[in-house]
Structure 1
Amino acid sequence: MQSEYTTTKSIANMPTSTDTQFDILLYGATSFVGKIMINYLANLPQDGFPWAIAGRDEQKLIALKTKHNLASLPHFVADASNEAALTALSEKTKVIISTVGPYALYGETLVRVCAKTGTDYCDLTGEPQWIKAMLDKYEDDAKASGARIINSAGFDSIPSDLGVYLSQHLAIEKTGLPAEHIKMRVRKIKGGASGGTIASMLNVMKEVGENPKLRKMLVNPYILCGADNPFHVRQKNHKSAEFDKELGIWTMPFVMAAINERIVHRSNLLLNGKYGKTFKYDEAMSSKTASTAWITTLGLGAFVGAASFSPLRHILANYILPKPGEGPSPSEQENGMYDMRFYATLSNGEKQVVQVTGDRDPGYGSTAKMLSQVALCLSQDVPELEGGFWTPAAGLGDKLMERLKLHAGVVVSEMH
C-alpha cells in the first residue's frame, strides 16, 4: 500500500560523506543477538550491501568470523565509551546497528556520534527512560546532520508498531477516520529470555530505586512524545488478570507493553496525529483460563517486587537468571513463534482484526531478522526520510512491512 504518512528529506539534511565503505556495520557483534545476526546476514544475498562487524574484543570477533567461514568480512575494534573510535566507525558506514545493552549503561556515546556525524542508527532497546534521555540530548543534532535514528527495532517494538500502523491505515481507508481504540492481545508466544534482556530490565529497576521521580516518568504513556505533545487521554494499564467481556477472553499483563505502548504513541506524534488526538491503545496477553491468568500475573508481580529490592536483585542477576551472553538455544530459536492480534471497532461499527505473526522466538531469532532488515531498509529504501529520531512505523512503514514479509518471516495482515 502507498502510505499517506510519507515524510521527505531535504537535500540540506543529507549526510555529506560519500566515501562510506559499508551499507551496514554491526556493533556488538559478539553479543547474544549479534551472533545470531551475523549468521542471518551472512546467508542473505550479498548483492549491493557490503557490511562489517565491530566490538571491543578482537579475538572474539576473529573467532566468530572463523566459525561462520567469513574470513574476508572486515572487522573493527572499538570500546562503547571511546568516542574517537566510534566516530571513525561511523565514517565507514551508512548505518550502524547497535546490540550493546543495557543501553542506559553502554549506548549513549554511539548515539551521540551518529547524531553528530549524520550516520543512520538502529538498535533493539526496550528502555523508554534511555530513549527519552537520548531524544532530549540529541534529537536536534540528528535533525541537523540528517542522521535517521530508530530505537526499539526488534520484538519490542516492531510488531506492535506495525500492527497499529496497518490497523489505522485500513480504518482510514474504510471509513475516513482512525479507530479510537485498539487493543493488542498476544494470543500465542513461544521463546526464551536472554541475559541481555534481563540485564536491561534489572537496570531499569535499579534506576527507579535510585531515582523515585523516574517511576512517575515511566508510567506516562506519552513519555516519548515531548512535554508539549497534544495527547492527554488516559490510557489503560493492565496491572492484573481480568476478563475482557468484549473479546470474551481472560487477559494478563504483558511485560513488553511498557515500551511498546510508548513507541506506538510516538508514532502517532511523528505521523502528525493520524491515529487521532484521543487515540487509546493497550496491550495484554490472552489466557484460556482464569487460573493461568492469575498465576502468571502473580508470578510477574513477584519478579518485579524482587527485582525492585537491591539485595534480591543482586541474587537474581548473579545466581538465578541468565547472564548477558546467555539465551535460548538454536532449537528454541527455531521452534519459537508469536501471534499478536489488534482489535478495533471502526467509526461505522465494523469490527476489524489485524494479525502479526513471527516464525522464530520473538526476542532473538525474530528480533535478529527484524533489526537486520531495519538497517537494510535505512540504507537502501528511504533516501527521502529526513534526519531525526523515528519509530519503525513512522520512519519506514510500508517498505519495512514488505521487507519483513519477504525476508524475516514476520507478516502483518488483516484477518477476515
Structure 2
Amino acid sequence: MTVSDILVLGATGTTGKLVARYLHGHKSRSSFTLALGARSTSKLDAVYKELSLPDTVKKVQVDVTNDKSIEEAVKGARVVINTVGPFWRWGTPVVAACAKNGVHYVDCTAEAPWITEIIPQFDFLATKTGAIILPACGLDCIPSDLAVFISNQTLKAVSSDLDIDTSVSAYNVRMGLSGGTVASLVSMTDEVPTSKFIRATKDYICSPVTGKDKWSPKILYRLPRVTPTVWGAVWHMGLSNRSMIQRTWGLHELAATQEAGEEGKKLRYGPEFKYDEFHIKANPITAILFTLGFAVGFGFIALLKPVRWLLRTFGESMAGPSEETMRKGLLEVTNITTSVATPSQPAVHVRTFLRGKGDPGFLVTSVLLSETALTVALDEKKLPALGRKGGILTTASACGQLLVDRLKDSGWFDIESRVLEEGEDGRS
C-alpha cells in the first residue's frame, strides 16, 4: 500500500477544501505527498476539478460511519487531518483507528465534552503506538495555547526561575459562520448528555495533574496593565481553549519533573498559573449586555428543542462565507502574562500579540490545521520530547516553537512577544 504523508478527511466540506487548497499550494509541496478523502466520489471529483488538482494527489473514498472504511483509509497515511464534524458524532472512530495504528492525527474540533471523552480512552494506547493525537488545532485552541506558550518562553528568557501568576488573552475577531459550526453547536446541546457537558466545564478535567486555577464566569472582563482599559465579554470558545491550556500546563508540569536542569524549568508555567480570556467589546455596557445575551441565548438552545430544530434546519442549508468575506476576516489576540513576584524578583509583565490574516474560523483555521500537520509530518524527529512520545497532546506541548516558527514563516501570521518595561503600557 502506498502511504501518503497527509490525508485530509472531509475534503469536500468548506474547511477540508480550504486545507486541500492550502496544502497543495504550499511552498514545501515537493516535500510531502497528499491524499484527499471523502464519502462521495462525485463531490470529491468536483473538488479536484475546482482546485485543478493533479492525479498525484491521491483520492480516498472513506465513510466515517464505517469502522472498516476508516481503518483502511487511516492505514494509508502518516498524518490524518480530520475536518468531519460534529466530532461527538463522527470523530471517535477516526481517533481510535489512528491510535491503534500509530498514525498521527490533527483536527479542528471545538467540542470540549468530546475531548474529555477521548483522552481516557486513547491517550495510553497512543503513547504505546507512538501516535501523536492533536485535537483542537484550529481557531480552537491554537491561538490561546500558543499565546501562553510564547509568553512563558519570553519570561524564561529573563530567568528560568520565573513562574506565571496570571495570563489573560483578549480576542478581536471578524469572522463568518458555516453550517458545520451550527451543527457542532446543536450537537453539543442536543446529543451530549448534560452530565458529560457539565463534566467538561470542570477545571483541569483534561490535565494529568490539578492546579490552583479555579475559573468562574464573569459578566465583565478587562485586560490588565493596558490603558485605556480594554473591556470584554464572554468568549464562546473559552471553555475548550481553557481546557486545552490547562492540559498543556499539566503536561509541562509532569515533564518538568522528568527533565533535569534548565530544560525542565523552561517548560513549566508554575504551580500558581491562572488563565482567562475574553472577546473585546467597545465599552463595559456593550460587554455586559453581550455576556448576558450569550447566556440567555445558550439557555434557549439548551432547553428548547424547537430552537435546536430551527438551528439545525438553518445550518443544513447554510453555505460558508464567500472568498471575499473570508479575506476580510481578522484574528487578533493580545495576551498579558505576569510572573509571580518574589522578594528578590518583582513581577515581570509580558505582552504577546498574535495576528492572523483572514477569517479566523475558515482561512486562519485551515492554515493552522495544515501547518500543524506539516510540523508533525516533516519535523517529527525535531519535536519536543513530549511530542516524540505520542499520546493525546496539545499543539504547545507536542510542537512548541517549531509550530510558532512555521506560522511566522507562512506569511499568514504576525507574532511578537516582549517584556514590558516598568511603568510601560501594555497597549504600546
TM-score (norm 1): 0.89
Q: Aligned runs of 1:2-401 on 2, under 5 Å?
A: 20-45=2-27, 46-72=29-55, 73-175=57-159, 176-186=161-171, 188-207=172-191, 211-226=193-208, 229-235=209-215, 237-242=216-221, 247=226, 248-272=229-253, 274-319=268-313, 321-323=314-316, 326-346=319-339, 347=341, 348-383=346-381, 385-401=388-404
Q: Aligned partners of 1:318, 1:202: CA distance in 2, in Å? A: 7
CA distance in 2, matches of 1:258, 1:44: 32
Structure 1 partner of 2:423: none
Tell me if the contact between 1:307 and 1:316 (Cα under 8 Å) persists in the aligned partners: no
Once residues 373 and 345 of structure 1 are traced to their aligned partners in structure 2, the CA distance between those partners, rounded to angstroms, is 29
Q: Structure 2 counterpart of 1:316, which letter?
A: L
- What letter corresponds to residue 360 of structure 1 in structure 2? G
Unaligned residue ranges in structure 1 (runs of 5+)? 1-18
Task: Give the deviation of 1:243 after TM superposition.
Answer: 5.4
Give the counterpart letter for 1:393 in structure 2: A
Q: Secondary structure at the match of 1:47?
A: helix
| Cα distance in 2, alignment partners of residues 96 and 185 from structure 1 | 31
Q: Residue in 2 aligned with 1:407?
A: 410
| Partner in structure 2 of residue 8 of structure 1 | none
**Per-residue deviation, 1:406:** 1.1
Aligned residues: 391
- State percent identity of aligned pairs: 27
Deviation at 1:244, TM superposition (A): 5.9
Contact kept, 8 Å, 2:328 with 2:359, in 1: the verdict is yes
Question: Which amino acid in 2 is paired with 1:335?
Answer: K
Structure 1 contact 230–277 (Cα < 8 Å) conserved: no
State the distance in 1 between where 2:205 and 2:178 align: 26
TM-score by length of 2: 0.87
List gaps (5 residues or longer) in structure 2.
255-267, 421-428
Distance 1:151 1:280 in 2: 22
User: Residues 60 and 215 of structure 1: is their aligned pair in 2 closer, same or farther, counting only changes over 3 Å?
Assistant: closer
**Which of structure 1's runs of 4+ aligned residues deviate more than 3 A?**
242-247, 321-325
Is the 8 Å Cα contact of residues 100 and 126 (structure 2) preserved in structure 1? yes
Identify if the C-alpha distance between structure 1 residues 132 and 318 changes in structure 2 by more than 3 Å, giving closer, same or farther. closer
